[in-house]
């Protein structure tokens, strides 16, 4: 290796530690956790509510940090991830590992002591699910990695809900199910336009292993399944019509945007516009759906709707 390949550019500072927590992805994790907490029946002391959400954010950030500690070599080989703190050499791997363990363990302990041990146990489960089950075990082994691994990101609203109620009922399970079914179209839309990156580093993502055609069909299939799953909280009487109508409209729009992705055969260099649009909409979709859940609850509490 030549001297010019040495990647060390500048020492780590707080921005690198912050970047390890994948803050952009975690905004939606924190938002869905907060919405779970706000939509749950009953109330929670605001300080405790804030603590619960902080613990979800720190735990998710800790898991994301451990994910990057483990995958530093893989990240170095992909254009999208090569600028992260570890592949660029701005940070020592041990520092990232220690930071990840500190955030993970600290968040679970505080959640347990301040909120309750059921919420803490599910937070611990989701951290282990993302950092170990998904990152170490599933991701390098099977194209179903994100289908099964999607469970990790589906826990936050369940944790938020349990922080208020202390028990698991049909509603938080349905919120889990929504994110679980949403994850494959969210990620495979992106994987379709970065698949050469994944192929280069030997990660068996669906488009690489089963091919584009099959991935496209599966994206549409998950969007079809998402329609009844997203509407189910209303159908079982867990929400009012504001959520129900918003869920139906948003999920049908998501399905409609998946159809051009499902039907077409992209040619290299054609911009992959339908795939990029679907990926962007997937993020908006979950924000809007969970916002509708909270709006519905506030309107019911205010007596505006029944
Ligand atoms: C196994 C499941 C998932 C995989 C493999 C995955 C993968 C990705 C990837 C590779 C990106 C590209 C941008 C980046 O690297 O920062 C991304 C973006 C994003 N993901 Fe996911 N994701 C998953 C689940 C989730 C979940 C559960 C959420 C939240 C509930 C989420 C929220 C987001 C958001 C908000 C972005 C956009 C970030 C931005 O604006 O740059 N993802 N996801
Ligand atoms: C509370 C808690 C622990 C929540 C989990 C958070 C969460 C959103 C998990 C989903 C997994 C995720 C963002 C994977 C990113 O894929 P990757 O890591 O394979 O992506 P990369 O290729 O960008 O590294």
Task: Give alpha helix (H) positions in the chain.
Answer: 14-20, 23-39, 46-70, 72-76, 93-114, 117-128, 145-149, 151-165, 170-200, 206-209, 212-235, 241-263, 273-301
The confidence score (pLDDT) of residue 303 equals: 86
Kindly report the CATH number that applies to the domain delimited by 15-168: 1.10.357.140
Give me 242's structure tokens: 């504001």
pLDDT > 70 in the chain, percent = 94
Distance CA 301, CA 275 (A): 39
Give me 166's structure tokens: 């202390």
- Residue 124: CA atoms inside 13 Å, Cβ hemisphere, count? 13
pLDDT digits (tens, 9 = 90+) for 191-226: 998 888 888 899 999 988 999 999 999 999 999 999
Task: Using the predicted structure, report yes or no on whether residue 2 has a pLDDT greater than 70.
Answer: no
Section 15-37 average pLDDT: 96
Ligand at shortest distance from the CA of 187: 1
Distance CA 190, CA 207 (A): 10
Q: What's the whole-number average pLDDT of the chain?
A: 93
Section 88-105 average pLDDT: 96
The confidence score (pLDDT) of residue 269 equals: 65
- One DSSP character per residue, 190-220 reads HHHHHHHHHHHTT---HHHHT-HHHHHHHHH
The confidence score (pLDDT) of residue 158 equals: 97
Task: Give alpha helix (H) positions in 129-240.
Answer: 145-149, 151-165, 170-200, 206-209, 212-235
Count of C-beta atoms within a 10 Å radius of residue 158:
25
User: Would you place residue 1 in the very low, low, confident or very high pLDDT band (cuts 50, 70, 90)?
Assistant: very low
The predicted model scores a pTM of 0.93
Ligand 1 atom, smallest distance to 27 CA: 35
The domain limits of the chain are 15-168, 169-299
Task: Using the predicted structure, report yes or no on whether residue 286 has a pLDDT greater than 50.
Answer: yes
pLDDT digits (tens, 9 = 90+) for 108-139: 999 999 999 999 999 999 999 999 999 999 99
Among residues 7, 203, 19, 152, which one has the least CA distance to residue 96? 19
Q: Please list every protein residue whose CB sits less than 6 Å from any atom of ligand 1.
A: 22, 24-25, 27-29, 32, 146, 149-150, 153, 179, 183, 186-187, 190, 283, 286
Q: What ipTM was assigned to the predicted interfaces of this complex?
A: 0.95
- For a pocket test of ligand 2, which of 19, 130, 147 has the largest count of ligand atoms closer than 8 A to its C-beta? 130
User: Would you place residue 75 in the very low, low, confident or very high pLDDT band (cuts 50, 70, 90)?
Assistant: very high
Higher pLDDT, 13 or 87: 87
| Nearest CA owner, ligand 2 atom 12 | 153
Task: Using the predicted structure, report yes or no on whether residue 4 has a pLDDT greater than 70.
Answer: no
Whether residue 163 has its Cβ less than 6 Å from ligand 2: no
pLDDT digits (tens, 9 = 90+) for 219-276: 999 999 999 999 999 999 999 999 999 999 999 999 999 999 999 876 666 777 899 9
């Amino acid at each position: 290796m030549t001297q010019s390949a040495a990647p060390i550019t500048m020492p780590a500072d707080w921005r690198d530690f912050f970047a390890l927590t994948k803050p952009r992805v975690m905004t939606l994790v924190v938002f869905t956790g907060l919405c779970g907490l706000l939509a749950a029946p009953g109330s929670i002391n605001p300080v405790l509510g804030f603590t619960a959400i902080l613990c979800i954010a720190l735990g998710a950030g800790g898991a994301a940090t451990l994910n990057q500690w483990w995958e530093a070599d893989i990240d170095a080989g992909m254009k999208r991830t090569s600028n992260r703190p570890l592949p660029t050499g701005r940070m020592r791997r041990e520092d990232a590992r220690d930071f990840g363990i500190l955030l993970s363990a600290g968040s679970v302990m505080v959640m347990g002591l301040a909120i309750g041990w059921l919420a803490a146990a599910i937070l611990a489960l989701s951290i282990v699910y993302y950092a170990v089950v998904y990152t170490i075990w599933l991701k390098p082994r099977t194209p179903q990695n994100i289908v099964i691994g999607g469970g990790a990101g589906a826990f936050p609203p369940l944790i938020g809900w349990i922080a208020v109620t202390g028990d698991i009922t049909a509603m938080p399970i349905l919120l889990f199910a929504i994110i679980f079914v949403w994850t494959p179209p969210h990620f495979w839309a992106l994987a379709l336009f970065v698949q050469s990156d994944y192929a280069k580093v030997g990660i068996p993502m669906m488009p690489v292993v089963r091919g584009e055609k099959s991935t496209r069909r599966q994206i549409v299939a998950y969007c079809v399944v998402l329609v009844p799953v997203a509407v189910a909280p209303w159908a079982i009487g867990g929400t009012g019509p504001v959520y129900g109508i918003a869920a139906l409209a948003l999920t049908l729009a998501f399905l409609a945007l998946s159809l051009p992705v499902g039907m077409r055969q992209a040619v290299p260099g054609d911009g992959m516009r339908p795939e990029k649009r679907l990926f962007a909409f997937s993020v908006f979709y979950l924000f809007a759906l969970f916002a509708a859940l909270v709006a519905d609850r506030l309107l019911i509490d205010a007596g505006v709707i029944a």
